[in-house]
Structures are given as structure tokens and as C-alpha cells.
Amino acid sequence: MRTLSVLLLAVCLTYPASEANAAPVIEIDFKSDEASGQELIHARAELGSHGAETWKALGAITAYPALHPWICDTHLLRQSGERLQEFLIEFEFPWPVGRRWSRIEVQRESPVRISWRQLEGSLQVNQGQLSFNSRGGEVHIDYQATINVGLPDAWTRYYRQKFVSEFLGAVYDQVTTRPSAKGLTLANSSRSITH
């Protein structure tokens, strides 16, 4: 029995933890956007090696309510070709901000970059860009946004940081916990054998 325990420990130490158990690396900072005078939140994230799945999750804007509880609803209002879309997004922010909405125009500037700007809404400002690249087997996300709910930046900085961190973390969780096709095939074949 002791030999089995030592062998199991050796296997655990030899093989790194699976990607599903690893946490994404997300760095967030704030800086002043000199052009607008607004505070800009900037996030850099390394989300593992699921490039295509990550980009698909980031581009599926109507699925955002499943990624963060502060996004209540998202509707596609209009689409012009493959690159330009208009969405209505409803938010339920913590007190004292509460329920807000934003009608945004989303521009898919390239296969790996999305930008958005608010056309109207109860947010004072909602604009930004998200770019994606995969290098060295790692997915890298660069997120920059100006989101102003009408309160001083110093009061909302914690909540904006929390929102972006949790949102990018949820994207990571979604793409790393989805069972692979191979795993589904194995599970289905073992079920048919045992039944």
C-alpha cells in the first residue's frame, strides 16, 4: 500500500496540474485617457491554450449574461454585414448604481479585434476594445475600456476591476471546463458497453 502511495505522489509531482485547475493570469490597471479625460481600465490576460474557443466565447455577445451576473440581458438589434452589429445590453450593478442599459455599436475590426462604443444609454460612457492573440501556445487578451456610471472614478474602481476580472475568468472557465469531443465519445462508448 505504501508503494502505491509513493507511486501516486511521484506521478502527481511529475505531471503538472491540468489546465482546468490552473487559474488564468489577469493583470488590471487604470490610467487616464488623455483624449477623453476619462479613466481607462486596462486588463491583460493569459487564458491558456484554447485559442479558437476563447475567441468564440468573447465574440458571442448575446451569451454574455451567462458569463457575469451583472449583465442581465443582451439583444442583437441590427447587423450590417459581418463586421458591424448593434446590441442592447442591460446591467444590474451593485448598489448604489443599480439597473442601467447601453445601446452599443460593435465593430469587428479584424479577425482578432473587437471595438465598441455607446450610441445611447443610462451609462455616461461605455466604449472600448478587446484584442486577442495566441503566441507560444498561450491565449493573450488585451482589454481596454472606459465605463462611467456617473459616479466618481475612485468610488467605482473596485467594481470595474471586479467586473473585468470575473468576466475574463468566466470566459476561461467556460472554455476549460467544456468536455472535449474525445471525452464525450469515450463516455458514450463506455455507456453503450455497460448497458
**Dist CA 52 CA 187 (whole Å):** 24
Class of domain 29-177: alpha beta
Is it the case that residue 123 has pLDDT exceeding 60?
A: yes
Nearest alpha-carbon partner for 33 in 97, 160, 125: 125
124-144 pLDDT, tens digit per residue, is: 999 999 998 887 778 899 999
Per-residue burial over 97-132, b = 16 or more CB atoms within 10 Å of its CB, e = otherwise: beebbbbbbbeeeeeeebbbebeebbbebbbbebbb
Neighbours of 185 (CB within 10 A): 11
- Write down the pTM of the prediction: 0.77
Q: What is the pLDDT of residues 61-115, one digit of tens each?
A: 999 999 999 999 999 999 998 899 999 999 999 998 999 999 999 999 888 899 9
Mean pLDDT of 164-190: 66
